[in-house]
Structure 1
Amino acid sequence: MESLQVYLIGSRYCETDQLSEIAWQRFGSAPTGWLRVHAICDFVHQHIKFGYQNASRTRTALGAYNNEGQGVCRDYAHRAIALCRCLNIPARYCTGFLGDVGTQPPFAPGDFAAWFEAYLGDRWYTFDARNNTPRIGRVLIARGRDACDVALSAAFGPITLEAFKVWTDEVAAA
């Protein structure tokens, strides 16, 4: 089993040193375990306005907390991860695809997404502060400390994404 230590310390996008006092003031008296992580997700979900136009490759958890209040799924994940780590809850960044399986019509298009996992006692549990509701059909691509470890793409020089399409189909259990 990998060491949990790396998921307790700060990283490029998750400044635990600058968010620790805030985390303990806001969540230090909350119930521990799953309920504490859920409280963090509720808080993050309520304090970031989602919008693709709000994407920023340099926004950190602290930036999203202090003055921006906007972002995309990776910003929700980074902020929640940083707050968890501040409270001694190991948390890791997940990136992948989130389709429409299990959602109600009208179906939103599937999309690349970021969420996180928190280690609670005996195993990793999935949390998603952006959607803040249980979802099925996640297609995990990679896990790491933050988006720096597991970026969806890396390019050097100017590029233009012209299109991408990913789809998922629900398969009946055998």
Structure 2
Amino acid sequence: MKIRIGYELDYDLPQPTPMILMLNVHFSRFSDLVTPDHMRIRPSVPIRAYRDGFGNWCSRVLAPQGKVRISADAIIADSGLPEAFDRSAGQVPVEDLPEECIVFLLASRFCDSDRMLDLAWQLFGHTQPGAPRVQAICDFVHQRIAFDYNDASVTRSASEAYREGRGVCRDYAHLAIAFCRALNIPARYCTCYLGDMGTPKPWPPGDFAASFEAYLEGGWQMFDPRNNVPRIGRVLIARGRDAADVAIATSFGPNTLTGFRVWTDEVPETD
């Protein structure tokens, strides 16, 4: 199948403002792009690009004063099948982990696993190590947190999400990641496009989605404690330790977000 992906972000800026944007499809899905996801900025300004320490594609701009629109519209190919999971994958001993995984065992700004060690072992120490343990974590987090867009907070940590029992998809991911790391399972935060294909209507407005990958036997495997079921058409944008590493837009000055649209829609087949 083919999926149309894209976004429109509208800002009102009181002064010229440096910004870092992390909105391009991840390099691991680049070859699936049928049409490029070129970033467009109106009014037009130069864009400088670089890869961060996690391999994510980042764009630097000096956004002008006034009203600014950042947008993209692309087509990407996808299998059209629900995500596949290896439910039998075992846990990899810490001493056998690749060096690239070590950073994803450590506590980070929003995944404060060091505060959750005892709780994690109390809740999940009896579960089968590996994919079954990660799934048990997802099941728990899915039930623990009540989803509500009005409960979004850019400063809520995993331990706070656990105590408050509310939040949005990033809070589900942060809490699950923190539990995994407390149990010596490398876990990394993912920002993605994720539409509602294959789910009952009515569908909510489009948005970017947070999930996470755990490193198990066989490699990295995607988990989604917010939805907690295999989904169709997830498109990876960026990976990092937590949401701070993969913010879609970081501005270095005051700004007002006046418009926000994201789409992830199946392209109808044509004869």
Establish whether residue 99 from structure 1 lines up as the match of residue 191 from structure 2: no
Structure 1 segments of 4+ aligned residues over 3 angstroms from their partners? none
Establish whether residue 140 from structure 1 lines up as the match of residue 236 from structure 2: yes
Larger displacement relative to structure 2 (149-158 or 8-17):
149-158
Q: CA deviation at 1:97?
A: 1.6
Please point out which of 132, 140, 151 is paired with 2:247. Answer: 151
> For the residues of structure 1 that align with 2:176 and 2:202, how far apart are their CA atoms?
29
Q: CA deviation at 1:2?
A: 6.2
User: Which residue matches 2:105?
Assistant: 8
> For the residues of structure 2 that align with 1:42 and 1:158, how far apart are their CA atoms?
39
Q: What do residues 66-121 of structure 1 show as CA deviations (whole Å, max 9, x unaligned)?
A: 2x111111000000000001111110000122112222333333311110011111
Please point out which of 140, 146, 149 is paired with 1:49. Answer: 146
Check the 8 A contact 2:193/2:264 in 1, yes or no.
no
What is the number of residues matched between the two proteins? Answer: 171
* Equivalence map 1:27-66=2 (5 Å): 27-66=124-163
Establish whether residue 170 from structure 1 lines up as the match of residue 251 from structure 2: no
Q: CA deviation at 1:38?
A: 0.6
Q: What do residues 103-152 of structure 1 show as CA deviations (whole Å, max 9, x unaligned)?
A: 23333333111100111112111111111111111121100000111112
Greater helix content: 1
Q: Which runs of 5+ in 1 are unaligned?
A: none
User: Which residue matches 2:88?
Assistant: none
Check the 8 A contact 1:99/1:109 in 2, yes or no.
no
Check the 8 A contact 2:110/2:243 in 1, yes or no.
yes
Q: What do residues 3-32 of structure 1 show as CA deviations (whole Å, max 9, x unaligned)?
A: 110111111111111101100111011111
> For the residues of structure 2 that align with 1:2 and 1:18, how far apart are their CA atoms?
24
Establish whether residue 83 from structure 1 lines up as the match of residue 179 from structure 2: yes
> For the residues of structure 1 that align with 2:134 and 2:225, how far apart are their CA atoms?
10
Establish whether residue 121 from structure 1 lines up as the match of residue 217 from structure 2: yes
Alignment-mate amino acid for residue 121 of structure 1? E
State the secondary structure of the residue aligned to 1:62: helix
Q: CA deviation at 1:159?
A: 2.6
User: Which residue matches 1:108?
Assistant: 204
Quote the RMSD (CA, aligned, Å): 1.6
Check the 8 A contact 1:13/1:146 in 2, yes or no.
yes
State the secondary structure of the residue aligned to 2:162: helix
> For the residues of structure 2 that align with 1:6 and 1:12, how far apart are their CA atoms?
13
Of structures 1 and 2, the larger Rg is shown by 2
